[in-house]
């Protein structure tokens, strides 16, 4: 979601002639889009701000802007600690960020209305909802991004159509819990069906899905709508019912496994990926073992594992953070080791197969593409003409998470 919002800011600024630079030292305006989900993300942002301030001391004309969740949560603290920050725009006010940045840089923002999406990316991110109402007990998102709001379905379809007109082949729909999208009589399944009608669009993906709201209707639609990719990111967080309850996730492990079965029956080649938190307050060795066992048994296509960190305002922040850091680290490593082992086995089993891929990028003659299940595939000795095309690739080699092959 942050990547999507950063892209949008970049796109808007580029219509004023701004150029994106890759290193801090070349910037006239430094915009830091922040995340508050984990403590580590905030620490990283603080250290970047330290570097940005040093840079500004040597180059006083430089402007520093902080946007996003940290700006929302602790904007005034940032301002006190980093006196050289020029502008702070919180996550709830992100739509006005561009106006405020234009103001700061003395840009005539009446030009703003002329912004047309002219980005030529093959994959485009489209936000369909904001905020979240779920209040998982560890999560700061509802506090920094506010309550759940589903965006106007017609605007979403128009944004997707425009992106396709400009060359997009794949749309990735974004929201904290896309399954609960509801705008008037349009639910998530009917929204995806409408988007799938756009001519020229090849693929649709979406994230994130909440297991408590994943409907049979959506599972069936994923199996039958040819443009919808066979990948679902379905965060499990834990396999211990005691921990799931304390996390306020509102489903049991049995319910989660039931969804996995339904998804695999409906779409046999589906890749299911997940998020896991280790070291949540009260997570005993036995609770953790249940999660590790689930990772082994479910055989996720991939996963993100996080060490629990208490976040302000959340319910879990009042619980005793009783798992020592070293123990969290070791549980984290065990989950990652298991998941990597499974990933290696899955990609190895794909060697010799033919995969339909969509080429997303090209660099030095190497195409970066993705299978319908979301695996990266690299193809050497190709040219720009292949960009944005659907190709059949014979898989010759597999490494950790990636595949290598030739077009047939
Ligand atoms: N809305 C999405 C996820 C948003 S945050 C969902 O419900 O799945 C992304 C991931 O960060 C979460 O799935 C969770 O695994 C992790 N996360 C959130 N808060 C955390 C915390 N306090 N400590 C560690 N990991 C956390
Ligand atoms: Fe956070 Fe839970 Fe909402 Fe996801 S569903 S954003 S984890 S509160």
CA dihedral 125, 127, 133, 138 (to 10 degrees): 30
Q: Could you say which residues of the chain have pLDDT below 50?
A: 113, 115, 118
Range of the domain at 94: 2-111
pLDDT of 190 reads 97
Phi, psi of 248 (to 5 degrees): 60, 40
Answer yes or no: is 205 within a domain. Answer: yes
What is the position in ligand 1's atom list of the atom closest to the CA of 138? 22
* Total domains in the fold of the chain: 3
| From 40, 139, 316, mutation site for ligand 1 pocket: most ligand atoms within 8 A of C-beta | 139
Strand 123-127 and strand 231-233: the pairing is unpaired
**Proportion of the chain in helix, strand, coil states, percent, rounded to 5:** 45, 25, 35
On whether residue 117 sits in a domain, the answer given is no
Residue 120: per-residue pLDDT: 58
pTM, rounded to two decimals: 0.92
Which residues' Cβ are closer than 6 Å to ligand 1? Answer: 37-38, 138-139, 141, 176-177, 208, 210, 235, 237, 275, 277, 306, 308-309, 311
Question: Are 23 and 59 within one domain?
Answer: yes
Q: What is the pLDDT of residue 17?
A: 75
Residues 127 and 238 in one domain: yes
Q: What atom in ligand 1 is closest to the CA of residue 275?
A: 15
pLDDT of residue 400: 78
What CATH number is associated with residue 72?
A: 3.40.50
> Which ligand lies nearest the alpha carbon of 250?
2
Per-residue b or e along 381-403, where b marks 16 or more CB atoms closer than 10 Å to that residue's CB: ebeeeebbbebebebeebeeeeb
38 lies in some domain: yes
Pocket perturbation via mutation, ligand 2, pick of 36, 146, 207, 210 by most ligand atoms within 8 A of CB: 210
Is residue 357 within 8 Å of 391, Cβ to Cβ?
yes
Ligand 2: which residues within 6 Å by Cβ? Answer: 132, 134-136, 139, 141-142, 176-177, 210
* CATH of residue 339: 3.80.30.20
Q: In what order do the strands lie in the sheet with 302-307?
A: 231-233, 271-278, 302-307
Contacts 24+ apart (CB under 8 A), 382-385: 382/407
Residues 171 and 64 in one domain: no
What are the strands of the beta sheet with 123-127, ordered from one edge?
Answer: 123-127, 170-174, 203-207
Distance from C-alpha of 85 to C-alpha of 69, rounded to nearest angstrom: 16
The whole-number pLDDT of residue 401 equals 80
382, 367 Cβ separation under 8 angstroms:
yes
Q: How far apart are CA 138 and CA 147, in angstroms?
A: 16
């Amino acid at each position: 979601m942050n990547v999507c919002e950063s892209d949008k800011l970049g796109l808007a600024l580029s219509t004023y002639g701004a150029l994106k630079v890759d290193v801090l030292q070349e910037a006239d305006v430094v915009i830091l889009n922040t995340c508050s989900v984990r403590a580590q993300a905030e620490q990283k942002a603080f250290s970047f701000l330290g570097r940005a301030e040093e840079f500004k001391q040597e180059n006083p004309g430089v402007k520093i802007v902080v946007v996003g969740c940290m700006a929302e949560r602790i904007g005034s603290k940032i301002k006190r600690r980093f006196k050289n920050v020029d502008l702070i725009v919180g996550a709830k006010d992100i739509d006005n960020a561009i106006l405020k940045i234009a103001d700061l840089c003395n840009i005539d923002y009446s030009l703003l209305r002329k912004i047309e999406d002219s980005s030529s990316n093959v994959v485009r991110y489209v936000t369909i909802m904001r905020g979240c109402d779920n209040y998982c007990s560890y999560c700061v998102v509802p506090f920094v991004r506010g309550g759940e709001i589903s965006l106007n379905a017609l605007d979403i379809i128009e944004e997707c159509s425009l992106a396709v007109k400009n060359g997009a082949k794949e749309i990735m729909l974004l929201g904290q819990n896309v399954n609960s999208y509801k705008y008037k009589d349009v639910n998530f399944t009917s929204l995806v069906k409408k988007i799938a009608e756009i001519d020229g669009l090849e693929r649709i993906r979406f994230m994130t899905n909440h297991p408590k709201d994943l409907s049979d209707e959506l599972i069936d639609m994923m199996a039958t709508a040819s443009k919808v990719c066979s990948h679902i990111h379905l965060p499990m967080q834990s396999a211990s019912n005691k921990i799931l309850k304390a996390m306020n996730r509102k489903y049991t492990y049995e319910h989660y496994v039931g969804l996995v079965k339904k998804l695999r029956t409906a779409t046999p080649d589906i890749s299911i990926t997940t998020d896991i938190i280790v070291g949540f307050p009260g997570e005993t060795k036995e609770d953790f073992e249940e999660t590790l066992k689930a990772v082994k048994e479910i055989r996720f296509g991939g996963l993100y594992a996080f060490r629990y960190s208490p976040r302000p305002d959340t319910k879990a922040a009042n619980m005793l953070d009783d798992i020592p850091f070293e123990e969290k680290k070791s549980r984290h490593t065990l989950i990652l080791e298991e998941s990597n082992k499974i990933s290696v086995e899955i990609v190895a089993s794909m060697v010799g197969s033919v995969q339909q891929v969509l080429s997303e990028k090209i660099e030095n003659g190497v195409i970066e593409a993705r299978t319908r299940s979301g695996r990266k595939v690299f193809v050497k000795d190709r040219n720009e003409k292949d960009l944005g095309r659907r190709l059949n690739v014979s898989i010759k080699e597999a490494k950790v998470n990636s595949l290598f092959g030739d077009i047939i």
